[in-house]
Structure 1
Amino acid sequence: MEITRNSFVKLTYALRTNAADGELVEETTPENALEFVFGTGKMLPMFEEKLEGLTAGSEYNFEIPSAAGYGEINEEAKVDIPKNIFEVEGAIDEDLIKVGNVVPMQDAQGNRLNGIVLEITDETVKMDFNHPLAGDDLFFSGSVLEVREATESELVAAVGGGGCGSGCGCGDTAGGGCDTASCGSDGSGSGGCGCS
């Protein structure tokens, strides 16, 4: 069976950035393979486009340019936030609010998003709300392990389940959901090849 809309797909992948032999961001094996229902909007559109028509046993190797992946780095997504926003009982959790940490946040509309702490001053915390893979060309290689018709329950879960399932590129090396430290596992769709 070929990969087409509403097929259940199970595959392995290695994700590298900026070159076919670039930095390895994430890798799965047959034991922790990526599983998803094709065509339900959970994957990057070009990721699905490159996989469409493949069958179980097929190997693949392709690039997704940054513009078709997570976009270019948006300097406006780097913002200074008043430091007192992070205070709990008059103090800041210095284990959480430190340079390099990913901090779950919420915008004025209640949307959840993750920000990386770039800088801490006496008055502000500079946060970067770009996707961690923004500005990177993505290089995928791997093999298709299984393709079959999705069951009714898999279709319902894929269409109405929310979140990013087991997307790649978001720290999900276990194949079962995004690591909240590196991806929007809360349904924000902000991480992984499974979350556009």
Structure 2
Amino acid sequence: MTDREEFLQIFRQHVTRPGADKLLYWLENKTDFFRAPASTRFHGACEGGLCMHSLNVYHALHDTFFQEGDSEESFAICALLHDLCKANYYKPGTRNVKNEATGQWEKVPTYTVEDLFPYGHGEKSVFLIERFMHLRVEEAVAIRWHMGGFDDAARGGCYAISEAYDRYPLAVKLHIADLQATYLMEHGTSAAR
């Protein structure tokens, strides 16, 4: 099963609220979500890296934190869509790199950022999701703050992240799953996959 097929299977199995079908149609037909990288140079900096990362976050979140009484739908939404802001965000291109063995300059594939809608990171994902379907408060907060201390607002001394994590355990869980996927599961995935 490909990453795209697994993503679609999990989404269709667990996300059933009104508008989910329209969101999925938009993802498949109007965005590069399933081809896009997860970053320009770090984790998942390869074609399909965004989908791969979203699945890794889903598995880390579900395998580590899911307990009886938790919502399968909320876990799927938060993990699979937390980085929706990266759809239609990266532009493929090339750059010149010197081959140390031959001394020759070679063109290698690369990605650059082309942010057509500069609205932040987590908040942009929440905004895009809610164009199609309603998020529960804890889902919106979890997606908004999934970057934790790496978020610009948190680095600027924002206390909202502390309140968010205190009130909504799903936000803490999503942040930890995102870190686990990025730094433990995807280490070294920038060139392959």
Higher helix content, 1 or 2: 2
Q: Normalization by structure 1: what TM-score?
A: 0.28
Per chain length, whose mean CA-contact separation is higher, i.e. which structure has more relative contact order (CA < 8 Å, sep 6+)? Answer: 1
Which of 1 and 2 has greater Rg? 1
- The structure whose residues are more often strand, as a share, is 1
TM-score by length of 2: 0.29
